[in-house]
């Protein structure tokens, strides 16, 4: 089932040495700052996004402590506004998407049998921009200048008259800055999955996780511009006196909402889809069979990514738009539950037909199914316009979307963390610690958020910093707060578990679970060049397939060793026929320099130091020019950007 980490006879010692010489980096500060290795970048994404998750979680704990009893005065209203706004913004933009990008970065090249992403330097750049944009936004909190108008920043509350100060400038600029990272990452995933798949990995052999990442990347490409346009207009309105959202001069406040939700609804799927991909990746290893209905699941993924663009108005049922449009969008919102259901049934069937191995990743998958399905039910309730009118902006909504987001994203992510920890770190985690973490997290989650349905139905509005001592509200709020501490303990134990793995974990074999995708055919952790021989794929489950092992083993054909330089293979988009070998870039400091110049520019814009912003823009242009200047090469070959 699994192959060994020691490369096979198809590769000579000399080849291995050459591969190592080309790909390995001696540890040094410079190497650390300049690396373009997708595995290191993926790890950084995971750690940084995890760090922002902890910060956002701490904000939530402060909120829950404040709301634990009625009329409490722990935080002032202005502070509370910033807390929930930063919490929501950071969870959605700085944690959920980047965390999944982290998994994608680490795994996509390994799963498709390539040596790196299509644009490794762009990848490094995306990470630095993400880090800087995240710090840019969080840095505003200690100054009391953090966004304070919710994660969706509605005008007119966020315009200059109603919201003076830097708060919403941080929001608009921070999200624009971050958008650069998300867009470049998405394009990179698409091109990588289209062109760098191992020979033989035709579209019907692409792992479901990769499908999910690619569909997500397409959604990012077509959804994020709406958010960017929105934020650019908001910033211009606030700072330079334009009137896009100003009704007294011909603007319109609903324009913000339309653009925001044209982005925001697909964004729900941008967050959930790759997480569902993780579920599809984890299940085969613990049920000992492939996911049932591969083609149906792929169709579901593709159709969700399309339909999700047609339903944004369901976030605006309370805005007084024409009734007819409500019917259309209600219908679309209901239809999208079908492909989601298809996936759920495919997983249930897989579990029923397979032999279950109840390890921690599978526990988290089960936790995910339970929680996500509950969240899906309340979601379907909102598709009923009349119900939505009653519950919008109560805690019922808060309960719903945490069921969807924690159920649909955090549980699968934790499943993924435990599943790939041996591959990423080369060490096994502590099973007992992990089980405790799961049960605390699972219980904490439901104890926190289930009562929110109740006091939401009892009429408690969301985004209030305190509330009067009303029967029904006070008791259940206390329960929620206790739950949130349990949940936090679960997260803490996970962190402890990861640290324990790094320090004490016993060495992991290449394939501890018997997984079916190509990453398990590499060493744990993988060599810098991933694969000594680039594999040839013959089925949907390459590591379960003897012929794949042969194609990287003794009889392997030599043209896929590619040890002369940093090289990998390009294949054709649909059927992955081998096309040609390409050189991959060496490590470089340019991505960091470019991201740094951008950080300077955005900071200067925020603080209205416009001359500095101009200097930064010139620095960006200069770095780009140097970056893209064609190297003097022999005439034959073009190096990827």
Partner 1 sequence: MSGRSGVAAATGAEAFSAELPAGRPTGWWGMVMFVATEATLFACLLGSYFYLRFQYGPQWPPPGIEEPTLLKPLVMTAILVPSSLPVIWAEHGIRRGQRWRLRCGMAATLVMGTSFLALQATEYDEKLHMFTMTTNAYGSLFYVITGFHGLHVLVGLTMISWLLAASLRGGGFGPRRHERVRNVAIYWHFVDVVWVGILFTIYLSPRL
Residues at the site binding ligand HEM, with contacts judged by CB under 6 A:
57, 60, 63-64, 84-85, 87-88, 91-92, 96, 150-151, 398, 402, 405-406, 409-410, 448, 462-463, 484, 487
- Distance, in Å, from the CA atom of 93 to the CA atom of 550, rounded to the nearest integer, reads 43
- Give the CA dihedral 15, 20, 23, 28, nearest 10 degrees: -160
What DSSP string runs through 158-224?
TSTTTS-SSHHHHHHHHHHHHHHHHHHHHHHHHHHHHH-PPTT--GGGS-HHHHHHHHHHHHHHHHH
Instruction: Please state the closest distance from residue 640 (CB atom) to ligand HEM, in A.
Output: 34
> Which lies closer to Cu ion via its Cβ, residue 399 or residue 592?
399
Work out what residue 516 binds among ligand HEM, Cu ion, partner 1, none; the CB cut-off runs from 5 to 8 Å by kind: none
Cis ω before 525 (30° cut-off from 0)? yes
> Which lies closer to ligand HEM via its Cβ, residue 333 or residue 484?
484
Which residue's Cβ lies closest to ligand HEM? 88
Work out what residue 194 binds among partner 1, ligand HEM, Cu ion, none; the CB cut-off runs from 5 to 8 Å by kind: partner 1
Tell me the two tokens of residue 115.
Answer: 């040596």
- Angle of helix 411-425 relative to helix 360-382, nearest 10 degrees, comes to 150
Q: For residues 168 and 147, is the Cβ–Cβ distance under 8 A?
A: yes
Instruction: Please state the closest distance from residue 441 (CB atom) to ligand HEM, in A.
Output: 9
Instruction: Please state the closest distance from residue 565 (CB atom) to partner 1, in A.
Output: 7
Angle at the Cα of 421 (from 178 to 546), degrees rounded to 5?
110
Residue 582 pairs in a beta bridge with 568
Instruction: Please state the closest distance from residue 71 (CB atom) to ligand HEM, in A.
Output: 15
Work out what residue 295 binds among Cu ion, partner 1, ligand HEM, none; the CB cut-off runs from 5 to 8 Å by kind: none
Work out what residue 205 binds among ligand HEM, Cu ion, partner 1, none; the CB cut-off runs from 5 to 8 Å by kind: none
Cis ω before 156 (30° cut-off from 0)? yes
> Which lies closer to partner 1 via its Cβ, residue 58 or residue 624?
624
Instruction: Please state the closest distance from residue 76 (CB atom) to partner 1, in A.
Output: 35
Contact set with Cu ion (CB under 5 A): 265
Work out what residue 398 binds among Cu ion, ligand HEM, partner 1, none; the CB cut-off runs from 5 to 8 Å by kind: ligand HEM
> Which lies closer to ligand HEM via its Cβ, residue 335 or residue 470?
470
Q: For residues 9 and 553, is the Cβ–Cβ distance under 8 A?
A: yes
> Which lies closer to ligand HEM via its Cβ, residue 49 or residue 233?
49
187 exposure class (CB count in 10 Å sphere: 0-12, 13-18, 19+): middle
Instruction: Please state the closest distance from residue 163 (CB atom) to ligand HEM, in A.
Output: 14
> Which lies closer to ligand HEM via its Cβ, residue 131 or residue 406?
406
Secondary structure of 311-354 as H, E, C letters: CHHHHCHHHCCCHHHHHHHHHHHHHCHHHHHHHHHHHHHHHHHC
Which residue's Cβ lies closest to Cu ion? 265
Instruction: Please state the closest distance from residue 433 (CB atom) to partner 1, in A.
Output: 42
> Which lies closer to partner 1 via its Cβ, residue 142 or residue 631?
631
> Which lies closer to partner 1 via its Cβ, residue 61 or residue 229?
229
Closest CA to 192 of 267, 111, 108: 108
Work out what residue 487 binds among partner 1, Cu ion, ligand HEM, none; the CB cut-off runs from 5 to 8 Å by kind: ligand HEM
Work out what residue 70 binds among partner 1, ligand HEM, Cu ion, none; the CB cut-off runs from 5 to 8 Å by kind: none
Instruction: Please state the closest distance from residue 319 (CB atom) to ligand HEM, in A.
Output: 17
Instruction: Please state the closest distance from residue 628 (CB atom) to partner 1, in A.
Output: 7
- Angle of helix 411-425 relative to helix 97-112, nearest 10 degrees, comes to 50
Work out what residue 265 binds among Cu ion, partner 1, ligand HEM, none; the CB cut-off runs from 5 to 8 Å by kind: Cu ion
> Which lies closer to ligand HEM via its Cβ, residue 82 or residue 517?
82
Give helix then strand counts, H and E, for the chain.
21, 2
Work out what residue 341 binds among ligand HEM, partner 1, Cu ion, none; the CB cut-off runs from 5 to 8 Å by kind: none
Closest CA to 245 of 144, 123, 154, 130: 154
Work out what residue 467 binds among Cu ion, ligand HEM, partner 1, none; the CB cut-off runs from 5 to 8 Å by kind: none
Cα 417 to Cα 279, 455, 498, 501: the distances in Å are: 12, 34, 9, 12
DSSP state of 251: -
Instruction: Please state the closest distance from residue 572 (CB atom) to partner 1, in A.
Output: 5
């Amino acid at each position: 089932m699994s192959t060994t980490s020691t490369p096979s006879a198809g590769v000579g010692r000399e080849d291995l040495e050459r591969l190592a010489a080309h790909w390995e980096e001696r540890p040094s500060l410079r190497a650390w700052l300049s690396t373009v290795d997708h595995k290191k970048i993926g790890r950084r994404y995971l750690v940084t996004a995890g760090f922002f998750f902890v910060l956002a979680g701490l904000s939530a704990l402060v909120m829950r402590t404040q709301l634990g009893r009625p009329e409490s005065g722990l935080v002032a209203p202005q502070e509370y506004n910033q807390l929930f706004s930063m919490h929501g913004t950071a969870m959605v933009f700085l944690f959920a998407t980047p965390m999944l990008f982290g998994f994608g970065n680490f795994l996509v090249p390994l799963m498709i049998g390539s040596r790196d992403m299509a644009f490794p330097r762009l990848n490094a750049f995306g990470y630095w921009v993400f880090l800087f944009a995240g710090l840019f936004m969080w840095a505003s909190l200690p100054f009391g200048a953090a966004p304070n108008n919710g994660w969706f920043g509605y005008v007119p509350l966020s315009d200059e008259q109603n919201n003076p100060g830097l708060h919403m400038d941080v929001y608009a600029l921070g999200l624009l800055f971050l958008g650069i990272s998300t867009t470049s990452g998405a394009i990179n995933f698409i091109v990588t999955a289209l062109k760098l798949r191992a020979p033989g990995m035709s579209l019907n052999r692409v792992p479901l996780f990769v499908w999910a990442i690619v569909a997500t990347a397409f959604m990012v490409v077509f959804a994020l511009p709406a958010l960017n346009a929105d934020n650019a207009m908001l910033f211009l309105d606030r700072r330079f006196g334009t009137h896009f959202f100003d009704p007294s001069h011909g603007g319109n406040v609903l324009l913000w909402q339309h653009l925001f939700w044209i982005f925001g609804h697909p964004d729900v799927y941008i967050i959930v889809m790759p997480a569902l991909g993780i579920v599809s990746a984890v299940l085969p290893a613990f049920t000992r069979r492939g996911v049932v209905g591969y083609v149906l699941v792929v169709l579901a993924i593709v159709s969700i990514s399309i339909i999700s663009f047609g339903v944004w108005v369901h976030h605006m049922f309370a805005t007084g738009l024409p009734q007819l449009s409500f019917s259309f969008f209600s219908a679309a919102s209901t239809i999208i539950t079908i492909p989601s259901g298809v996936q759920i049934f495919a997983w249930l069937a897989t579990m029923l037909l397979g032999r279950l191995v109840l390890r921690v990743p599978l526990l988290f998958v089960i936790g995910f199914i339970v929680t996500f399905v509950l969240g899906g039910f309340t979601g379907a309730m909102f598709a009923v316009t009349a119900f939505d009118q009653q519950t919008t902006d109560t805690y019922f909504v808060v309960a719903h979307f945490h069921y969807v987001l924690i159920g649909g994203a955090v549980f699968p992510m934790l499943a993924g963390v435990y599943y790939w920890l041996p591959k990423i770190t080369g060490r096994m985690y502590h099973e007992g610690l992990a089980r405790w973490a799961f049960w605390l997290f699972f219980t904490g989650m439901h104890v926190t958020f289930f009562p929110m349905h109740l006091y939401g139905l009892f009429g408690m509005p969301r985004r209030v910093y305190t509330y009067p001592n009303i029967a029904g509200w006070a008791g259940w709020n206390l329960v929620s707060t206790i739950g949130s501490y349990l949940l936090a303990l679960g997260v803490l134990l996970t962190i402890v578990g990861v640290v324990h793995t790094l320090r004490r974990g016993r060495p992991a074999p290449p394939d501890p679970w018997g997984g079916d995708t190509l990453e398990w055919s590499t060493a744990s952790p993988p060599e810098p060049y991933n694969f000594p021989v680039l594999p040839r794929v013959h089925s949907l489950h390459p590591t379960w397939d003897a012929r794949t092992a042969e194609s990287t083993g003794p009889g392997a054909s030599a043209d896929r060793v590619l040890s002369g330089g940093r090289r990998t293979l390009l294949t054709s988009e649909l059927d992955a026929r081998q096309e040609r070998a390409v050189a991959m870039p060496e490590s470089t400091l340019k991505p960091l320099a470019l991201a740094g110049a951008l950080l300077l520019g955005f900071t200067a814009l925020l603080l209205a130091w416009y001359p500095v912003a101009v200097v930064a823009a010139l620095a960006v242009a200069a770095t780009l020019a140097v970056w893209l200047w064609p190297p003097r090469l022999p005439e034959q070959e073009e190096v990827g950007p």
